[in-house]
Amino acid sequence: MIFGSLGEDINVISPAEFYATNWGVRDMNNLEHEYRKGRFTLAMTSSNAPSHDAGHILYHNPDAAVTIAVYGHIFNIAELARQLGSLFDENYQTSVGMAVFHGYEKEGAAFFRKCNGNFVIVIRDERKNRLWIVRDHLGIESLYFYRKNQLLYFSSNLHQLAASPLIDAGLNSVAVLRYLLFNYNPYFDSMYEDIQKLRPGYMLRIEDGKMIIDPYWYISFKDPFKKTNKEYKEELIDLFNDSIRLRLDDKRFRTGVYLSGGMDSSTITGLMRPMIEGPVHSFSFRCRGKTFDESYYARFMSESYNTTHHEVPYEAEDVHRIAQVAAAADEPFSDIGIEVASYLLAEKASGVVDYVLTGDGGDELFAGHPVYQADTMAEKFERIPKGIRTPFTNLLQKLPDTEAKKSLLVKAKRFSYSAGFSSDLFSNRWRIYYTDAELKHLLTPDWYHKLNKKDALQDIKNLYHEADGSDFLSKTIYGDYYTVMGFYLRRMELTRKFGLEGRFPLLDYRLVEYTSRIPSNLKLDEKGQTKAIFHKVMAGVLPDEIVFRTDKLGHSVPFKNWLRHKPIVQNVIREHLTPEAISKRGIFENEFVQTLFKRHISKADNNSHRLWALLTFELWCREHLDNRKVEKVVEAELA
């Protein structure tokens, strides 16, 4: 964790105030790096992941009166140092600090565009009375801040920030609404009122007593390439290899990979294997079931590339682990059991490897999300007169649910529900779980009245309209990098609880810049094939069984079926979403929650996402909101 606080005139509160009772690092001796000068204090603590912590530095240049902190990794820092003419030797701390200092001095904000990795960089320049805070291009590392009464507090850990007795941050009602709609909060506020997230690719600057937040990097979809398939293949393979190479550190740390058997994780596994002389451990989870079990392909890839494979069973009995997930998460996020799978994988990998490479990001690079196909279908569907469409979609909604994950009926019901939402939500129209009428039944009158005044969707719409692409798909992918991408990255944060670090080669900013210029019709072709260009690029590189498979389900957990047939799963819902608990929270109407449960059990609807999200939210509130209130009451009594 990196944290600090300051006044907007750069007069920082005193260390005694900063380390107020029961806030921040409870054991001040646990500080990994710390710098104090006068009223300025900046500190970092260990993330408990040795490979991640190896990238942390705190550097002070007394001659220039500049202090620099790097939390996370700049994987290409040695290359940047050579370009800048900066000395880079075995003294890693000093070398990184000098390289960042020279980049800052010579190039200013333009330097950060070339920093490749996951990082938060803090620069305090006493000469210019300036403070800069920079978050990596795609938001792999988190950075939260709270600004009030001419003071700014910041931290990479949301709960440590909210726990300060100097910060009075209640529950953010707009973020709660977004969470209910999407099963996570896809924007740059947080679940705590007045605590914000620094946007990926942005920097927060305080200069001359003023705070400015602006971008140093932008994903442009203008000027599409006109390349041959051969050129795409050669250039993308080179980029893949280099992005993987940068993130390997097998000489010091043990390397692993999350391997599902899909194109993204298989590409990482296949290309990284020749780069590592020693063992590579691969990890995948397995849920048994005809339309859910994809473990064969992960085993096939492991055997093809000689990895030591670890298959983690995920059974209905494991769903109670959601309480541990909620406790570990900065914000509540509900991924219908995949977050529990991520937790189980990290637990298994703990002690076996120090870091894992993942395939996260491939769906945005090459248009792999099924919702992109839904957008194409919607464009044709909406040409049908509304008088015909509406009765048809209403009829589909009345059909019962099935046990399968992706049957035609399941897709039709979901499509008919989501088609009623505005297309200017782009891909997120397919991810909404409540209509306004349903929200009115779900929420208590006070909460519905409070939320009804705020358009929680407008901020999401605005993100997509920032895009400079000329077609719908390019605008969609742009917005997804700042919404859905954060969802997957927050899930991966769970790995650090187990001393494990996740690394993301497909989120190399160079890959993002390159693929953003690939024409949309090469990503999603005229036949509706997602990742079309990706399959062509990897043909002959990966086994045909992976490149040409047509039964990819995505990460699959049969939670909806477990909830119908497994008493142990039903009891998890009943135990926590009791009438008493719902009434005490004061946000939801118990009768509607119980109706969701009954209609799911009867197969009238698939309410698994809604119920799982309500459960996750309740557990998160108990762990973080309720406990935080108790701690502050105790502090007040002690005072």
Residues in CB range of 312: below 8 A, 6 or more apart:
283, 284, 285, 286, 341, 344, 345, 348
SS (HEC) of 137-157? CCCCCCCEEEEECCEEEEECC
Q: Report d(CA 250, CA 272) in Å as an integer.
A: 11
Closest by CA to 350, choosing from 496, 505, 140, 555, is 496
For tokens 């290309």, what's the residue?
Answer: 271
pLDDT at residue 295, rounded to an integer: 87
DSSP-assigned beta bridge partners for residue 258: 283
User: For the segment 210-220, what is each residue's pLDDT rounded down to a tens digit?
Assistant: 889 999 999 99
Give the mean pLDDT of 168-190.
Answer: 93
User: For the segment 528-545, what is each residue's pLDDT rounded down to a tens digit?
Assistant: 999 999 999 999 999 999
Extended strands (E) in 544-606: none
Backbone angles phi, psi at 394, to 5 degrees: -65, -40
Give the mean pLDDT of 267-288.
Answer: 95
Give the mean pLDDT of 457-480.
Answer: 95
Helix, coil or strand: residue 35: strand
User: For the segment 397-453, what is each residue's pLDDT rounded down to a tens digit?
Assistant: 777 877 776 677 778 888 888 888 889 999 999 999 999 999 999 999 999 998 876
Please, what's the b/e burial string for 61-92 (b: 16 or more CB within 10 A of its CB; e: otherwise)? eeeeebbbbbbbbbbbbeebbeebebebeeee
Q: Report d(CA 407, CA 401) in Å as an integer.
A: 10
Give the mean pLDDT of 563-581.
Answer: 96
Q: Is the pLDDT higher at 412 or at 341? A: 341
pLDDT at residue 637, rounded to an integer: 38
Q: Report d(CA 10, CA 136) in Å as an integer.
A: 23
Q: Side chain identity at 606, as an amino acid letter?
A: N
Q: How long a stretch of residues is the chain?
A: 639
Closest by CA to 42, choosing from 148, 120, 110, 138, is 120
What percent of the chain is modeled with pLDDT above 90?
Answer: 67
Query: What is the pTM (predicted TM-score) of this model?
Result: 0.92
Helix, coil or strand: residue 31: strand
Q: What angle do CA 168, 460, 435 make, to 5 degrees?
A: 95
Rg of the chain on CA atoms, in Å: 25
Q: What angle, rounded to 10 degrees, do the helices at 445-452 and 173-182 form?
A: 100
User: Is residue 639 scored above 50 in pLDDT?
Assistant: no
Q: Report d(CA 461, CA 457) in Å as an integer.
A: 6
Q: Which domains does the chain have, with CATH numbers?
A: 2-215 (3.60.20.10), 229-367+480-547 (3.40.50.620), 387-418 (no CATH), 558-639 (no CATH)
User: For the segment 68-122, what is each residue's pLDDT rounded down to a tens digit?
Assistant: 999 999 999 999 999 999 999 889 989 999 999 999 999 999 999 999 999 999 9
Average pLDDT, the chain: 88
User: For the segment 41-61, what is each residue's pLDDT rounded down to a tens digit?
Assistant: 778 888 889 999 999 999 989
Sign of CA dihedral 597, 600, 605, 610: positive
Q: Is the pLDDT higher at 194 or at 611? A: 611
Tokens of 455: 């358009």
Tokens of 433: 């779980």
Closest by CA to 236, choosing from 366, 405, 63, 92, is 366
